[in-house]
Amino acid sequence: MTSQKTMEQRKRRRAAFDYSLFGIVLILMAFGLVMLYSTSSYNGQVKFADPAYYLKKQAFATALGVVAMVVVSRIDYRIWERYTYLAYGISLVLSTAVLFFGDEYNGSKRWLSLGPLSFQPAEFAKLAVILLLARTVTLRVKKMGKISQMFRVILVVLPIVGLVGTNNLSTAIIILGIGVILIFVASPKYLQFISMGALGVGFIAVFLSVESYRLERLAIWRNPEAYEKGYQTMQGLYAIGSGGMFGVGLGNSMQKLGFVPEAQNDMIFSIICEEWGLMGALCLLFLFLILIWRLLVVAQNVQDLFGSLVAVGIMGHILIQVILNVAVVTNTIPNTGITLPFISYGGTSVLFLLSEMGLALSVSREMKKEP
């Protein structure tokens, strides 16, 4: 009851930091750097005459991320509850700023530059949304069964979804997805979700038919060989198919030599398939599954609702990106640009992913003993 007692309890629980979660993150991170070097050395050599060009940038961001992860894991996550609106506000401002001052790359304005550093506000927005929703849902948890409340929660994230969605549809989908998962976890009423799902499908149908280029994407998805724009997809499939059971070996990919465009980005999983084969690809998926499972364990075993929802949000973030990325690379769904967490090139992404992991680790300290 006394605050001293809780403090004591907390101190004791600090020993219960989830090492398996931490270990998995480190393994994924290290593997990510190895694969990043493998896939980017050719592009680095061709474009910047430095095979380690991308590796250096990524390693810097990763180092920064590891520091952030360790620091955040040592801070009580409840502190962030106070700053959720601030964080959300900052993410809105940054996402607006990027529309006006952003650097354009491959036709999308996604980066804000500050001297030699560049920053992708959309990555920060994901973290901000996780915190914001966790808080919003915690405050209304008893009323969450009402459909009107569900829509109100969704309404809270719509501004950022709209802002990010103007030039980064995929991230908007991820943010929306995280929101849906959080609401669902707080109030698992299937009927409502089925109706919401139906609404979502209808929305997507309208969305697709409004702009013809999105319909074209569907056509490319169904028959990528017949379209010039299916080139990237086909190259990815060539890489995957070339892998076979055990792959061609680390560093021996042919497809990364300019055939798969920017192999270190969204399509990196196809090169992993080529170099490590089916076995390697399945192992990687299994690693992600363990990561997601550890996050689930954290979420399930934390008494505090806010902490639990933060863990669920992070889990949702990872699982949506992994599933969508692998689905896109294997041409299971139409092409959209989604990176593979911890593996794909992207400094902001890895920095905030590691911060999220720090947050999850911090939450994991609150775990009661596993049954």
Task: Count Cβ atoms within 10 A of the Cβ of residue 239 and give its class: 0-12 exposed, 13-18 middle, 19 or more buried.
Answer: buried
Which of 28, 68 has the CB closer to another protein?
Answer: 28
Task: Answer yes or no whether residue 302 interacts with another protein by CB under 8 A.
Answer: no
Question: Where in 126-145 is the site for another protein (CB under 8 A)?
Answer: none
Segment interacting with another protein (CB under 8 A) among 60-68, 76-84, 105-113, 308-316: 308-316
CA distance 299 to 320: 17
For the bound state, the minimum distance from the C-beta of residue 258 to another protein, rounded and expressed in Å, comes to: 3
Task: Answer yes or no whether residue 293 interacts with another protein by CB under 8 A.
Answer: yes
Q: Which of 26, 169, 296, 305 binds another protein (CB under 8 A)?
A: 296
Which of 273, 363 has the CB closer to another protein?
Answer: 273
CA distance 240 to 326: 11
For the bound state, the minimum distance from the C-beta of residue 326 to another protein, rounded and expressed in Å, comes to: 5
For the bound state, the minimum distance from the C-beta of residue 48 to another protein, rounded and expressed in Å, comes to: 15
Both tokens of residue 318?
């990872």
Which of 163, 320 has the CB closer to another protein?
Answer: 320
Side-chain half-sphere exposure of 278, counting CA atoms within 13 A: 3
> Nearest CA to 112 among 55, 167, 69, 161?
167
Task: Answer yes or no whether residue 54 interacts with another protein by CB under 8 A.
Answer: no
What string marks each residue from 205 to 244 as x (binds another protein by CB under 8 A) or -?
-----------------------------x--xxxxxxxx
Coil, strand or helix: which one is 52?
A: coil
C-alpha to C-alpha distances, 249 to 16, 119, 200, 356, nearest whole angstrom:
39, 34, 42, 32
Strands 108-114 and 117-119: antiparallel
Chain centroid to CA 178: how far? 10
- Do 235 and 351 meet the contact criterion of CB atoms below 8 Å apart? no
Question: Where in 311-330 is the site for another protein (CB under 8 A)?
Answer: 312, 315-316, 319, 322-323, 326-327, 330
Task: Answer yes or no whether residue 288 interacts with another protein by CB under 8 A.
Answer: yes
Handedness of CA 174, 176, 180, 183 (dihedral sign): positive
Q: Which of 72, 196, 220, 273 binds another protein (CB under 8 A)?
A: 273
Residues that bind another protein (CB under 8 A): 42, 46, 181, 184-185, 188, 234, 237-245, 254-255, 257-259, 273, 277-278, 281-282, 285, 288-289, 292-293, 296, 299-300, 312, 315-316, 319, 322-323, 326-327, 330, 332
